[in-house]
Amino acid sequence: EEGISTEEAIGLALDTLAQSNDGELTPDGVGVATITVDDPEYAERSSDEIEEILDERDLLPTDEDEADGEDADGATDDEE
């Protein structure tokens, strides 16, 4: 989308990724890096920064999901 900030673009990208993962993501399960026209340096976001964005957008797994047999990365107990 033209005219949105880098932060908004990151949020939109994470929203889109979460749609294919039951609406949830974990900071350890996704990586985020940016390169912009204004700052052409490769900038990788930390897990803490990603977690903050996921939390703001309500994309983190709930405690209920973990009780259903999913661990923090979304894998079920049978998949480990």
Nearest to 60 by CA among 7, 15, 6: 15
The pLDDT of 7-26, averaged and rounded, is: 93
Between residues 72 and 10, the one the model is more confident about: 10
- Residue bearing tokens 């052409």: 40
pLDDT in tens, 24-47: 999 999 999 999 988 899 999 999
Nearest to 17 by CA among 52, 54, 43: 54
- What confidence score (pLDDT) does residue 80 get? 46
